[in-house]
Amino acid sequence: MNGKSNLGWTVIGAASAVLLAALWAAPLLWALSTALRPELETVSADFHWLPQTWTLDAFARTLGAGNLLRWLFNSALVALSVTVVTMAISLMAAYAFSQLRFRGRSLLFGLAMLAFLLPFEALLVPLFRTMNQLGMINSYAGIVLPQVVSPVVIYVFKQFFDGIPADFREAAVMDGAGPLRVLWSVYLPISGNIVWAMAIVTFIAAWNNFLWPFIIVTSNDMMTIPLGLTQTYDAFGVRYAQLMAAALLGALPVALAYVLFQKKVTQGFLAASGLKG
């Protein structure tokens, strides 16, 4: 009786796993199937799940026309800059909050954590006005800078540093090493795991950020991928094979990053949500 109901659950479970996985894979597979056809086939009245003629034409045209390569370059530059700057300033700040004794430590830390409460969306209007006054509209600095304030990253690093035994630091301080040197040569080497995880997550978030580039960028040449892909109707017209090719090319870098570093990505997102992986 019990064995039977267990088998029943296993069958139901396996069936739902297959069904859900198929549903979740379907949109990307359908995009791929569309991108591999000649344009005429996408509007043909005859419906086919697979291309009747297989061709890379749509990919070639997408890369040739429009600004896709430029947007990919912009995204790479912006996401890398955001990641490097965020890691550098957050590691230094987290180290200070965790290991140094100074006046106003808890007040400043509390203030920094306030940023958790206030959604970035609420700051758009004044941020745009400031950037406008600084002449940073349509500039890389304008896109990058507001993205480097990341209380989550500081919080995760501080938690990690808090867990490191104090004698670790004392030995280095006795040798007369300054704080930056201690952070670099004592703390960083043992934090590799968490630093990589947060770096990858920061990179993906910056690559995918839509809202801020949408506000600060108006020129087609300065657009990042998430923003540029919304302009593809203008670039290619309603040509679905090319639109799907563009979508897949835009998805490829982050999809690859995820597939290559699956464990780190998972760990990073969990740490950022306040849960341990």
Partner 1 sequence: MERPRIPLATAAASPPRENLPALALLAPFLIAFLLFFLVPAVETFWLSLTESSLTRTSAFVGLENYATLVQDTSFWDALGNTFYFALLTVIPLTAIGLVMALLVNRFVAAQGWLQGVFFLPFVLPISVMTLIADWMLQPSSGVINHILGIQRPWLADPTWALPAVAIGTVWWTVGFNMLLFLAGLRNIPAEQYEAAALDGARGWKLFANITWPALRPVTVTCLILQVIASLKVFGQTYILTSGGPFNTTRVTLHYMYETAFTQSDAGYAAAIAMAFVAVVILLSLLQVWIVRWLEKRES
- Position 2 contacts partner 1 (CB under 8 A): yes
- 163 versus 174: smaller Cβ distance to partner 1: 174
| Site track 190-229 with partner 1 (rule: CB under 8 A), x = hit | --------------x--xx-xx--xx---------xxx-x
Per CB under 8 A, the list member of 53, 185, 193, 230 interacting with partner 1 is 230
- 8 versus 237: smaller Cβ distance to partner 1: 8
Q: Which tokens in the block code for residue 271?
A: 């740490």
- 52 versus 208: smaller Cβ distance to partner 1: 208
- Position 9 contacts partner 1 (CB under 8 A): yes
Q: Are 57 and 38 within 8 A, CB to CB?
A: yes
Q: Are 79 and 206 within 8 A, CB to CB?
A: yes
- 171 versus 255: smaller Cβ distance to partner 1: 255
Shortest Cβ 192–partner 1 spacing (Å)? 20
Q: What are the C-alpha distances in Å from 269 to residues 3, 91, 188, 199, 227?
A: 38, 18, 20, 11, 23
Shortest Cβ 54–partner 1 spacing (Å)? 18
Report the distance separating Cα 125 and Cα 160, nearest Å: 35
- Position 171 contacts partner 1 (CB under 8 A): no
- Position 237 contacts partner 1 (CB under 8 A): no
Per CB under 8 A, the list member of 124, 140, 164, 168 interacting with partner 1 is 124
Contacts 24+ apart (CB under 8 A), 260-267: 261/196, 261/200, 264/193, 264/196, 264/197, 264/200, 265/197, 265/200, 265/201, 265/204, 267/193, 267/194, 267/197
- Position 13 contacts partner 1 (CB under 8 A): yes
Q: Quickly tell me which residue has 């209007």 as its tokens.
A: 125
Phi, psi dihedrals of residue 139, rounded to the nearest 5°: -125, 155
- Position 180 contacts partner 1 (CB under 8 A): yes
Shortest Cβ 191–partner 1 spacing (Å)? 15
Judged by CB under 8 A, the chain residues 48 through 87 that form the site for partner 1 are none
Q: What are the C-alpha distances in Å from 237 to residues 53, 234, 242, 251?
A: 22, 5, 9, 20
Q: What is the largest CA-CA distance in the chain?
A: 78
Give the binding range for partner 1 (CB under 8 A) out of 61-69, 155-163, 186-194, 256-264: 256-264
Shortest Cβ 57–partner 1 spacing (Å)? 17
Shortest Cβ 183–partner 1 spacing (Å)? 8
